[in-house]
Chain A
Amino acid sequence: MTREEILNELKKVIAPYTTNKEMLAGIDDNTDLIKDLKINSANLVDIIIDAEAKYDIEIDYDSADKMVNVGNCVDVINEKLKEK
């Protein structure tokens, strides 16, 4: 999977957790999940769980802590996919 493919899939994972749909359509690596997409910090765990199910990967606590902006999320998912 390319980074672009992961990003497009990630948009679908994030969608239920942001009310800022306009911002979601134009996200890039620097988009911050909490500050820009206004995602409730408690919901970050739900995004991680949904991403795990979608990609059939396991995201450990340390990796999850890195998932602050969209670029970090793609990096972590990319890394876990390669480990499979």
Chain B
Amino acid sequence: MSNRVVITGLGVVSPNGVGISAFLDAIQKGVSGIKFMPHYRELNFSCQVAGMPTFDWGSLKNYISDVTFHGLKGTNIGYGLAAALDAWVDSGMSYDTDEPRWETGCIFGNSIADTEAMKNVISKVDNKEARKLGSRVVEQAMNSGVTSYISGRLGLGNKVITNSAACATGTQAILMGYEYVKHGYAKRMLVGSAEHVDTYVYGAFDSMRVLSRKFNDEPEKASRPMSATAGGFVPGSGAGALVLEDLDFALARNARIYAEVLGGSTNSGGQRQGGTMTAANSTSVKRCIAEAMFTAGINGADIDLVSGHLTATNADRQEIINWTEALGRAGDDFPLTNSLKSMIGHALSAAGSIETVASVLQIVHNFVHPNINLDDPNPEITNLIGLERLPVKMIKKEVNIVAKANFGFGDVNSCLILSKYK
């Protein structure tokens, strides 16, 4: 038994736009969401810019009760709730239900609880005041906090699962939801991921010397995937969410259909053959992309757009090599390719879901968003693929099939194949 799986709802909290219409406008115009963070300069961080959503925390009162809002401190939970509930409403569904929605589940990923909020917990415990912590800490410290808030608000009664696979988390969550619907375990899955790169997580990345540090005075230029001056990534925060449905189930309720998930794959390089905790095994990356195309029933020639991982580190070149070999296409024959990270930075666990929302919007609205800051393309990349394959201005064109991949610490990979619904 195998069902077609379609996307019927979208929600996003992105550094360059909160809500789908603002986000769509931003990615069409190439608007950067990267800002200077004065606090990071005070902390002596090398990188002092970040992609932070302009998020009105009080707006959460539109999504949850005042009682739930009171005491909510986890920023990642707030982002995830807003994106997920927006996607839900966008799919034409209402919030309230008395009986659990047995046919609908949730897979939402994240990396870590908001450690800035947890700092208060640590100091109270160290100060021998544990009894003052109250009832709301555990639910926000637990890794399943985001899924618990979402599924509780909507009464979701099917599989409710929290996944975590570093930078591959978002695409992996969507893939898992797709597989459950495809194989008939659920009729509908609310999927996505959230990330809040708080000061402490940010500091740990800064110490690894993997962040962009030469553009602190020009924050909008700091995230430069595939450029000769790419010197590291810019951490970003936010959330992306999608409603996936069994095609027949969606048609029966006259749901608007944005696009179809044709297939996908997630695997690991086992930290072998050049793969490590932090570097990808290229063989496994190519296998992941090939398996995704196989499950989708397409081949490399069918792909109109590659939405890359492409973080603006020295791994960009190897990623492009992997794509050329996996797709069997190179030079001017290589598909159009873009990296949303040029505008919003690298949103880690949320990257895959925000970038998938962007991919779906490009399919629906027939455009390819620009790579901003690519005014000095890396010659070691443009000797592999044609320069015009990396658009620096929006291209209006029909986009039928997108390959969206992310690669994460732990040597984990995820790749989705998305298609126009026909």
Contacts and interface: CB of A to CB of B under 8 A. Distances in A.
Interface of A: 16-19, 40, 42-43, 45-46, 49, 52-53
Interface in B86-123: none
Interface in B60-74: 65-67, 70-71
A18 B66 CA distance: 8
A53 B133 CA distance: 12
24 contacts: A16-B66, A16-B67, A16-B70, A16-B71, A17-B67, A17-B70, A18-B67, A19-B65, A19-B66, A19-B67, A40-B67, A42-B135, A43-B67, A43-B135, A45-B134, A45-B135, A46-B71, A46-B135, A46-B136, A49-B131, A49-B132, A49-B134, A52-B132, A53-B132
A17 B136 CA distance: 12
Identify whether the interface residues of A are mostly helix, strand, loop, or mixed: helix
Identify whether the interface residues of B are mostly helix, strand, loop, or mixed: loop
Contacts of A19: 65-67
Nearest to B134: A46
Contacts of A43: 67, 135
A68 to B, nearest CB: 17
A29 B19 CA distance: 46
Nearest to A39: B67
A46 B131 CA distance: 10
A49 B130 CA distance: 11
Interface string B116-151: 000000000000000110111000000000000000
A41 B71 CA distance: 15
A23 to B, nearest CB: 13
Contacts of A42: 135
Contacts of B132: 49, 52-53
B109 to A, nearest CB: 26
Nearest to A18: B67
Among B70, B71, B135, chain A packs the most CB atoms within 10 A around the CB of: B135
Nearest to A59: B131
A43 B65 CA distance: 14
Nearest 5 A/B pairs, CB to CB = A16-B70, A42-B135, A46-B134, A45-B135, A49-B134
A53 to B, nearest CB: 8
A12 to B, nearest CB: 13
Nearest to B135: A42
Contacts of A17: 67, 70
Nearest to A50: B134
A17 B135 CA distance: 12
Contacts of A45: 134-135
Nearest to B133: A49
